[in-house]
Amino acid sequence: MLSRKVADKLYAFETPFYLYDLDLLRQTLQSAVSVADRYGYCLHYAIKANYDPRLLQIIREYGLGIDCASGNEVRCAIEAGFDPKKIVYAGVGKRDKELRYAIEQGIFAINCESIEELLLVDSFAAEAGKVVDVALRINPDIDPKTNACIDTGQADSKFGISYEEVQEKVELIKGLKNVAIKGMHLHIGSQIRELHVFEYLCNKVNAIVDYLVGLGFKLDFVDVGGGLGINYDFPENEPVPNFASVFSIINSYLNVGDREVHFEFGRAIVAQCGELITRVLFNKTTATGRKLVIVDSSMTELIRPALYGSYHNIENITSKSANRQRYTIVGTACESTDVFDENITLPETKRGDLLTIKSAGAYGMSMASRYNLHDLPAAVYSDEL
């Protein structure tokens, strides 16, 4: 963990800030790309995980494409130099101007999540005089065995189109003149740590591809989404996620002929290279005896614990005390859910100490807000230290 090695230098920076370990990012990308290349898989980075320009520049150097969830994400990716032909765009609620923009840019595929959306893309494409490549995002009805807040693949979820609806509307879909159904897409959820879930996912993809081909669609690619989880409990034990195991499972169980296979990883690429560095403002004890450490960041910098009940490992990187105590770490926001962790053991922690909230590179800065009119946190990179 970078912050531990450079703790003394970190005092100089105004807190809170995100600290990025660029070498770890490169190591992670090298691992992902080298194993993907072995199987000929195409990797996209789910840009929603983190839009930091320096991270994007490095991700681009490794040849990844981008997975987007909004028109502004498509714009951000293009402005960061990614080839539109390597950009996919999913999302249940794409606005008209976002669809028109994606069509104009000629991206690799718009992943349509409803029949109404597909019809709209067809009509916008006709207006633009184009035939647009799309993928059907299918709801596969799989339990990804993860936190329910980030589970996107079960039958009742808002994501994707049901098999039933595709079958019901098949003639309508096939009659569309300005969309070319080039692929099928699914994304079943995030922070998947039980790798056998990827085996179920392959079985579903095989069945969905057979089903769609049986309905008369000729598919060139399958996009199986992202979702690979990381080790939030002990990040030092697994700084680089196990891409080799996931790709080996996919290679063993996926049976889609010579179709291209695409992935859209977000968390697995950037989570471990980022930490949120925050300074202790105050200590106090509640009437019930809870020892609170109040830090200078909050859910406005890192919302995952408040939003999903997510765990991040926290360490005091500057205290030299041998005396360890139990603390609850709370933020500055005017919300009772603004708690980073409860009842954790740290060395004696005082005003001015620096804490690191680890594994915060994904869905940290990208979900930051200006609630309470807090300033957005800055970024500090390993090569500045």
- Stretch of 121-129, 254-262, 265-273, 296-304 contacting ligand PLP, by CB under 6 A: 265-273
Contacts of 298 (CB under 8 A, 6+ apart): 331, 332, 333, 338, 372, 374
The token pair at 191 is 């922070």
Query: How many residues sit in the footprint of ligand PLP (CB under 6 A)?
Result: 16
Residue 317 sits at the vertex; the CA angle it makes with 339 and 309, to the nearest 5 degrees, is 20
Q: Which of 10, 46, 197, 208 lies at the binding interface for ligand PLP (CB under 6 A)?
A: 46
- Stretch of 259-267, 281-289, 295-303, 339-347 contacting ligand PLP, by CB under 6 A: 259-267
Establish if 190 lies at the interface with ligand PLP (CB under 6 A).
yes
Q: Are the C-beta atoms of 157 and 151 separated by less than 8 Å?
A: yes
Nearest distance, CB of residue 323 and ligand PLP, angstroms: 39
Residue nearest to ligand PLP (CB): 226
Establish if 312 lies at the interface with ligand PLP (CB under 6 A).
no
Closer to ligand PLP at the Cβ: 227 or 331? 227
Cα–Cα distance between 235 and 64 in angstroms, integer? 24
Cα–Cα distance between 282 and 209 in angstroms, integer? 57
Establish if 90 lies at the interface with ligand PLP (CB under 6 A).
yes
Q: Which of 16, 65, 140, 266 lies at the binding interface for ligand PLP (CB under 6 A)?
A: 266
**CA terminus-to-terminus distance, the chain:** 14
Label residue 196 exposed, middle or buried (CB < 10 Å: 0-12, 13-18, 19+). Answer: exposed
Q: Are the C-beta atoms of 74 and 48 separated by less than 8 Å?
A: no
Establish if 142 lies at the interface with ligand PLP (CB under 6 A).
no
Closer to ligand PLP at the Cβ: 60 or 187? 187
Closer to ligand PLP at the Cβ: 71 or 226? 226
Residue 278's DSSP bridge partners are 355
Query: Which residues in the 196-235 window bind ligand PLP by CB under 6 A?
Result: 225-228
Establish if 187 lies at the interface with ligand PLP (CB under 6 A).
yes
Nearest distance, CB of residue 104 and ligand PLP, angstroms: 22
Q: Which of 247, 265, 327, 340 lies at the binding interface for ligand PLP (CB under 6 A)?
A: 265
Closer to ligand PLP at the Cβ: 90 or 102? 90
Cα–Cα distance between 50 and 76 in angstroms, integer? 11
Cα–Cα distance between 89 and 134 in angstroms, integer? 9
Closer to ligand PLP at the Cβ: 48 or 279? 48
Nearest distance, CB of residue 46 and ligand PLP, angstroms: 3
Nearest distance, CB of residue 332 and ligand PLP, angstroms: 27
Three-state DSSP at 378 gives: strand
In this structure, the number of other CB atoms found within 10 A of the CB of residue 247 comes to 22
Establish if 243 lies at the interface with ligand PLP (CB under 6 A).
no
Q: CB-hemisphere CA count at 13 Å for 310?
A: 26
Query: Which residues in the 67-86 window bind ligand PLP by CB under 6 A?
Result: 67
The amino acid present at 356, given as its one-letter code, is: T
Contacts of 200 (CB under 8 A, 6+ apart): 142
The contact set with ligand PLP (CB under 6 A) reads: 46, 49, 67, 90, 187, 190, 225-228, 264-268, 362
